[in-house]
Each structure stands twice: as C-alpha cells, then as structure tokens.
Amino acid sequence: MEKESQRYVELEPVVISRYQIRKRIFDVLASSILIVCCIPLFLILSVSIVLNSGIPIFFLQKRTGKDNQLFTIFKFRTMKGSKHNRPTHAYEWKEGVPDSFTFKTDFDASVTPIGRVLRKYSLDELPQLFNVFFGEMSIVGPRPEIPEITTHYTSLQAKRLQVKPGITGYAQVNGRSEINHGKKIEYDLYYIENQSILFDLKIIIATIKCVVKGKGAF
C-alpha cells in the first residue's frame, strides 16, 4: 500500500456529473459576458501597466490543472519585467508539501506601484476569464499551483487536482494568501466533497465582498 508521504503519480478518473455539466455551462456564459463587459477595463489596465512599468502587459506561467494536466495561466503583470524571468522555484520536500508552507509574502520590493493596486483588488486575475472560457479553469475551484509544488503532493494533497482550478475558491474566501498550505488543502478538500451550484454562488458572493474590502490577495 502506498504510503501517504510518497509523491503523487496518478489520479483516479472522475465521472462527469450533472453538476459538472451545469457548472461548465455557467462558466462559459459567465466568462463570455464578463470578458465583453470588461473590455474597457482591460484597455485601461493595459495602458496603465505600460505607462507605469513598460511591457510585457501579461504574465504567463505554467500551472497544474485538473487531473495533473499543465496549462498556461494568464495574469496582468504586477512585478518588474526582470523578476518575471527569474528561475523556477526549486523545493526539496520529501514528505509532501509542509502544512506550514506559504507561497506569498505581504511585501515584495519587485512589485510595481500599479501592481500593488492590481493585487489588492485582484484585478491582475481578470485575464483568467480566458482560461475559464477555454475550459482550463472554472470560476470557482481550488487555486492552481505551480508544478514545482504539485509534484511534491502526497496522495491526500493531490485530491485537490480532481477538479478544475478556479479564479476563486473556498480557501480564498477564508483567508486568501494569509493561510498556510495545510489550511488551504483542508478548505479545498471540503469544497470538493461538498460541491454544488449553491455552494459556488455563496463563494462568488463572498469573493466579491473580499475584493471590495481589498483584504489579502488571491
């Protein structure tokens, strides 16, 4: 029997449910409408980024999606250009990702002035609406991690990869970047075990409240 501390290799297939079909329909409709409505905002933010810190406008990065499949996530660039070309993260965990691990810090000198505003109100995440439209992400789901982290998942931690990653999720509305990895896994697994359209709507409403308050960062 595989020990919990061993790295995750495969995921068991998940049967498509009515909920998943309805959720995909909602994702396509919601992302399409929001993309069209946000075109003026996209233009304003793009110009602001160029005037403030030059190009590129977007930050592209490989993330781990559903069933351990890699995809490219889209975000507005919030850091200085050179920082976005830094080497990939390297971790040497041998017994899974530590529960105490936190990826983000409260302050980073490499974040641009406009980038701080974008992060505070999660405006840098808006381009991920295209990821949702293309079917790589969902509006609601566990936030996608970089593969340098997910390759160290235990079988328990890897259960969060059984669903599409989301722009927002249950962990985000319960602490955003302020919670550690162990707590995030706990929230994500609770979400996976209790998925429903009503639960998704509650998370979306809670997300709007968090964004308006500018508390934490996604």
In total, the chain counts a number of residues equal to 218
Residue 50 lies in a domain: yes
Residue 131's CB: how many other CB atoms inside 10 A?
A: 25
Looking at per-residue pLDDT, the higher value among 29 and 108 belongs to 29
Residue 10 lies in a domain: no
Listed range (101-115, 117-131, 165-179) with the worst mean pLDDT: 101-115
Residue 80 lies in a domain: yes
Residue 12 lies in a domain: no
Residue 54's CB: how many other CB atoms inside 10 A?
A: 12
pLDDT at 218 (0 to 100): 45
Looking at per-residue pLDDT, the higher value among 125 and 215 belongs to 125
Residue 17 lies in a domain: no
pLDDT at 126 (0 to 100): 96
Q: Indicate whether 36 pLDDT > 60.
A: yes
Residue 163's CB: how many other CB atoms inside 10 A?
A: 22
Q: Looking at the 3D structure of the chain, how many domains does it have?
A: 1
Listed range (61-70, 97-106, 145-154) with the worst mean pLDDT: 97-106
Distance CA 48, CA 118 (A): 11
CB contact set of 23 (below 8 Å; sequence gap of 6+): 138, 140, 197, 200
Q: pLDDT tens digits for 38-92?
A: 999 999 999 999 999 899 999 999 999 999 999 999 999 999 864 444 445 678 8
Q: Give the pLDDT band of residue 120 (cuts 50, 70, 90).
A: confident
Q: Give the pLDDT band of residue 15 (cuts 50, 70, 90).
A: low
Q: pLDDT tens digits for 195-212?
A: 999 999 999 999 998 888
pLDDT at 123 (0 to 100): 94
Residue 218 lies in a domain: no
Looking at per-residue pLDDT, the higher value among 104 and 128 belongs to 128
**Domain boundaries, position 129:** 27-213
Residue 101 lies in a domain: yes
Q: Indicate whether 157 pLDDT > 80.
A: yes
Residue 9 lies in a domain: no
* 155 burial level (CB within 10 Å; 0-12, 13-18, 19+): middle
